[in-house]
Amino acid sequence: MSLRKKYFAGLGFRTNKPSFEPGEEISAFVTGYHGGTAVVRVGDTVLRIEDAPENALDTRVRLRVEEFDDNDHQGTATYLETVGESSF
């Protein structure tokens, strides 16, 4: 293996449009509401959380992805629990 390959081994780029699989559990901050539904944004990906608590804005929540459209980078998720608050 060349020195260059060794140096760059394991190096990758993060995407601003991550994809999720149904059933995958993640934690993220609730960044707003759209039509009364809580929204989590991970980069340019948007997940709607239909059953989030009313006071979820700016809290870190754990959720389970239910549906995800990889073309539009949008999906729905189920609220599981609040795991933290923002430090703003």
H/E stretch holding 6: helix 3-8
Looking at the domain assignment, is residue 74 inside a domain?
A: yes
In which domain, by residue range, is 35 found? 24-85
pTM for the full predicted model: 0.79
Residue 63, classified by CB atoms within 10 Å of its CB into exposed (0-12), middle (13-18) or buried (19+), is buried
Does the residue 3 lie in any domain?
Answer: no
Q: Establish if 11 belongs to a structural domain.
A: no
Strand pairing report for 59-69 and 25-34 = antiparallel
Cβ atoms of 28 and 46 within 8 Å: the answer is no
Which of the four pLDDT bands, split at 50, 70 and 90, describes residue 70?
Answer: very high
pLDDT of residue 31: 95
Structural domains counted in the chain: 1
Asked if the structure places residue 76 within a domain, the reply is yes
| The pair of three-digit structure tokens given for residue 4, joined into one six-digit string | 């260059």
Q: Say if residue 6's pLDDT is above 80.
A: no
Rounded Cα distance between 82 and 52, Å, is 9
Q: Decide if 68 is inside a domain.
A: yes
pLDDT value for 85? 78
Q: What CATH number is given to the structural domain containing 81?
A: 2.40.50.140
Is the pLDDT at 81 greater than 60, yes or no? yes
Report yes or no on 9 lying in a domain.
no
